[in-house]
Amino acid sequence: MFKLFKKTIAKLVYPDGLRCLLCDKEIPRTDNSLCPNCAPEIISHFCVLCGADLTNAYQRYCDQCLLIKDTLNFDFARAPYAYSDVKVKKIVWQLKYGKKFYVAKHMADDMTKIINETNWNFDFITYVPIHKKRLKQRGYNQSKLLAERIGENLKIKVIPTLIKIKHMQTNATKLGRMERIKALSGSFKRITSVRGKRILLVDDVITSKATANECSRILKECRAKEIYVITYATSKGIINKLY
C-alpha cells in the first residue's frame, strides 16, 4: 500500500517529460520523454511505399514491396522507428502490455512529426480495432489511444471505421506472413461510411503488413479513396527479417 502511495506521489511530482519513460532517470529537457541513452534513432532511409527501414540508401523499395507491392491496399505507410531496436520494442511493450498510457502521448507525438514530413492529405483518422474480448482483457486499445493523441495534435477528427469480429486465439506475432493473412481473413467489419474519403490508419507496429493491408482492403472495398498508414515502429525491409 505504502509502495503504491509512494508511486502515486512520484507520478504527481514527476509528471510526463521530466523522467525518462524507459529508465526513469531525470531528464533536463522537458520537450523529450526519453533520456539520450534511451532515445531510439529515427529511420533515415525507408521504403518509399511502406516506410520499412532500409540499410541501403540507394534502395527505393524494400524487398517485400518489390515482391508484393501490387497486393498492397494502402497507398503509403511510414513510421519513425525500427521495431528491431530493443528500445523501440520496450516502448511498444509498455503501452501494449504494461498499461502505461502516458507512453502513448510520447509515441503519438513522434508519429505526428513524421506525418508532418509527408504530403499526405486526409479527411479523418481511424485506427486498427481490437476484438471486444481483447479489449476486456487489456482494458484499452493502444492504437485508439495513439490515434486520439495524433488527432489532438493535428486537429483532425478520429472516427472508428472498423470493428474486429474474429478473435485470434494464437499470438499473431508468432505466425508467418501467409499464416497471418489467412488468420486475418474475415476479421474486420466496416461500421462507418468511408466512400470517397482519404483516411489515416493508425496502428502501433507494422511488421508483416498483413493487418494494415486487410483493414485497408475492407476500407478500399467500401470505396475509401486513399489510405495512409502511420505506426510507431516498422520492420526492416529485408525478406525473412520482418521483425
Q: Smallest gap, in angstroms, from Cβ of residue 78 to Zn ion?
A: 11
Shortest spacing between CB 21 and Zn ion, in angstroms: 7
CA gap 149, 146 in Å, rounded: 5
Q: Is the separation of the CB atoms in 46 and 205 below 8 Å?
A: no
The reply on whether position 212 binds Zn ion by CB under 5 A is: no
Q: Are the C-beta atoms of 188 and 218 separated by less than 8 Å?
A: yes
Nearer to Zn ion, 62 or 227 (CB): 62
Whichever of 41 and 132 has its CB closer to Zn ion, that residue is 41
The contact pattern for Zn ion, residues 1-40, with x = CB under 5 A and - = no contact, is -------------------x-xx-----------x--x--
Question: Which residue, 65 or 215, is less far from Zn ion as judged by CB?
Answer: 65
The footprint of Zn ion on this chain (CB under 5 A) covers a number of residues equal to 11
Residue (142 or 208) nearer to Zn ion, CB: 208
The full 3-state SS of 94-160, as one line of letters, equals: HHHCCCCCHHHHHHHHHHHHHHHHCCCCCCEEEECCCEHHHHHHHCCCHHHHHHHHHHHHHCCCECC
Cβ closer to Zn ion: 194 or 242?
242
Question: Do 107 and 231 meet the contact criterion of CB atoms below 8 Å apart?
Answer: no
Strands 162-164 and 188-190: antiparallel
- The contact mask relative to Zn ion for 51-80 (x = CB under 5 A, - = no) is -x---------x--x---------------
Q: How far is the CB of 166 from Zn ion (least distance, A)?
A: 27
Pick from 33, 43, 46, 47 the residue near Zn ion by CB under 5 A: 47
CB of 230 to Zn ion, least distance (A): 15
Q: Which residues are 164's β-sheet partners?
A: 131, 188
- For the CB of residue 18, give the shortest distance to Zn ion in the complex, in Å: 12
215 SS3 class: helix
Query: Cα(156)–Cα(148) distance, rounded to whole angstroms?
Result: 9
Instruction: Tell me if 200 contacts Zn ion by CB under 5 A.
Output: no
- CA 119, 146, 117: angle at the middle one, nearest 5? 20
Residues engaged in binding Zn ion (CB under 5 A): 20, 22-23, 35, 38, 47, 49-50, 52, 62, 65
